Structure 1
Amino acid sequence: MKLIETRKAAGTVLCHDITQIIRGVTKDARFRKGHIVTEEDIPVLLSLGKDHLYVWEAGDDMLHENDAAEILCRACKNDGMARSEVKEGKVELTAEHDGLFKVDKERLLKINSLGQMMIASRHGNTPVKKGDKLAGTRIIPLVIEKEKMEPVKQIAKEGPILSLLPYQPKKAAVITTGNEVYFGRIRDTFTPVIEEKLKEYGAEIAEHIVLPDDHKQVTRAILRALDNGAQMVLCTGGMSVDPDDQTPLAIKNTGADIVSYGAPVLPGAMFLLAYYGKNRIPVMGLPGCVMYSKRTIFDLVLPRIIADDPVTAEELESLGEGGFCLGCEICTYPNCGFGKGW
């Protein structure tokens, strides 16, 4: 930082805000720190009583906050993200399309642990809409050592730490099980709920089968749906531990790889997730709560399935913290704490 005459300041960078006060009109910064002084600015600065200015003195070992912010932005920005103009060392990212927002938590922590810089994002594994804000970055000081940004560049070589996976609309087969529905004792109110949830992500039901509590029939129906090209199979009913609840056994007997039967989420503890064959087609057993609760485990998993983002057993296990839905009278999901543990 050095002191210079304002008349000679064109092209230099201000080290501090310069406030303009007009009685009854404004009292605010007329020029912000980091502003590059132009010839047109000089008469205005003189009119504000600034005959001298403190400006940034460039050196080979230092970067201005805006230049450093560009490096930080490159470490974050990925396909499907729009960025703001850099201002005061800050850049914000927004979604250019609907999709599943992902965060590399480990590398995010590494950058935030470097000091003098920060990245703040919304939670990962969150469905977002076009135009939603995703993250903001900032360089804390006005100038920062160039060497401080080198670890950021190294981390960025692995690719951006943020990603926005577009949805891949899928055709689903729904297999409704239960003697009570099959024999017409009650009306199927489960399938319409699934249909609405699939529509949120551009997916649709291509096949719907109703079967009694017979695990052999259910197994055959799942395999037939897969042979017919179903891109996901959703089984409803028979997911409890009663003697007549045989859906988990039916899914297991298809030969699918069971990721988890049960999840630390309420509503949704009796959820089952499996992947079938070399193409890893998702097969799910949905507990009854999906039918009558506003948001459940299905709402947490479905956007990842639609975005072709594989779900692991460890990730499901991590949902215990944040996996308790409060059942708010006015639901704001996904802008709430539900399911933010993974």
Structure 2
Amino acid sequence: MQKIRVEDAVGSVLLHDLTQILPGESKGPRFKKGHIVREEDIPVLLSMGKENLYVWDRTEGLVHENEAAERLARAVTGPGLHLSEPSEGKITLTAEYSGLLYVAEEAVYDLNSLEYIVLATLHSHRPVEKGAKVAGTRVVPLMIEENILAEAERVAQSHNGPILEVKALRSWKVGVVTTGSEVYHGRIKDKFGPVVRAKIEGWGSTVIGQSFADDDIPMIQGRIREHLDKGAEMVLVTGGMSVDPDDVTPTAIRELGGELVTYGSPVLPGAMFLLAYLGDIPIMGLPGCVMYSKTTVFDLVAPRVLAGEHLTKRDIAKLGHGGLCLECKVCTYPHCPFGK
């Protein structure tokens, strides 16, 4: 600790809060502990009656908490994130635009295993709105050793790709094929289409058309081809996803040439979900739960595809951890454990 004249304090670090009293207006901390004194602060400090300050005696090899938090934040930040100004040794990261948050979990574990390093984030693949708080960085002591901070930066740089990133959802052209003889022959009203359309449009994409097919493999395949010919970049096939012998959607997609990623998912609701790729075009077979459950496997998978991911069997398998929806009376997804 060192006592110095205010005029000589530029660049020094305050060791305690300094309160400013404005009679009839306010009373509170004007400068907080850890603040680095700037040239423009000098007149304010003098007006507060501060002619001398107690500041940190700078020591070679030590980094102030504000600078350390900012360096750590910059080391982990990828596209789509905004860094706040440092406050009491903490930097807050917010989303620059709406999209999906991606977190390199192993890198987060590695960083937080270092002494005095703190990186707290939301779960990966969480939908976030523009301006949402997604992460925070800080260090534990007021001053941290340079070699510890440098090691944190090295760990961050050694990771392949950004540790934190927000990916915007692309606007896709989506075709919908509704299967089932009961709907095709007009015996019951289609309830799948409006639900799927609302979700797709809510994610910023467009349903370019919906067609209907009987439980007939060639007819289902023909409907899929029609959407592809019209420029569909994704095709959703609803119905026909159970284990009944006449539910032929999976067979139709396989025989069309689709590369099957999964038929079935470790998510409830959504166990009968299908994902395949016809070239680069994703085709999803949607189980009946999408029609009546507020949140399902569709809500976990589709946004990731719309963000540009090419999902694998392993990606689907990982959904089992956190893949049980509690089916609350009032759905609060994504502010809940589902999909985390």
Q: TM-score, normalised by structure 2?
A: 0.90
Q: Is the 8 A contact 1:71 1:152 kept in 2?
A: no
Report Cα offsets for 1:77-105 as digits up to 9, x if no partner. 22222221112221111112111110011
Which SS does the other structure have where 1:153 is aligned? helix
Alignment of 1:4-153 (within 5 A): 4-6=3-5, 10-11=9-10, 12-18=12-18, 29-37=29-37, 38-40=41-43, 42-43=45-46, 53=54, 55-153=55-153
Alignment of 1:316-335 (within 5 A): 316-335=316-335
The structure 2 residue matched to 1:244, chosen from 243, 246, 249, is 246
Cα–Cα, structure 1 residues 211 and 133, in superposed 2: closer, same or farther, change >3 Å? same
- Provide the C-alpha distance between the structure 2 equivalents of 1:204 and 1:309, rounded to a whole number of angstroms: 18
- Provide the C-alpha distance between the structure 1 equivalents of 2:98 and 2:6, rounded to a whole number of angstroms: 50
Structure 1, unmatched stretches of 5+, are none
Question: Paired residue for 2:173?
Answer: 171
Q: Is the 8 A contact 1:176 1:210 kept in 2?
A: yes
Question: Paired residue for 1:266?
Answer: 268
1:314 is the counterpart of 2:314: yes
Which SS does the other structure have where 2:303 is aligned? helix
- Provide the C-alpha distance between the structure 1 equivalents of 2:94 and 2:57, rounded to a whole number of angstroms: 34
How much does 1:9 deviate?
Answer: 5.2
How much does 1:7 deviate?
Answer: 5.1
Cα–Cα, structure 1 residues 291 and 7, in superposed 2: closer, same or farther, change >3 Å? closer
- Counterpart amino acid of residue 323 in structure 2: G
Alignment of 1:213-252 (within 5 A): 213-252=215-254
User: What RMSD, in angstroms, separates the aligned Cα atoms of the two structures?
Assistant: 2.3
How much does 1:113 deviate?
Answer: 1.1
- Provide the C-alpha distance between the structure 1 equivalents of 2:36 and 2:176, rounded to a whole number of angstroms: 61
State how many pairs are aligned.
Answer: 334
How much does 1:23 deviate?
Answer: 11
Farther off after superposition, 258-267 or 26-35: 26-35
Structure 2, unmatched stretches of 5+, are none
Q: Is the 8 A contact 1:68 1:149 kept in 2?
A: yes
How much does 1:10 deviate?
Answer: 1.8
How much does 1:6 deviate?
Answer: 4.7
How much does 1:76 deviate?
Answer: 2.4
Give the % identical residues.
48
Report Cα offsets for 1:287-314 as digits up to 9, x if no partner. 0010011111111111111111222211
Which SS does the other structure have where 1:36 is aligned? coil
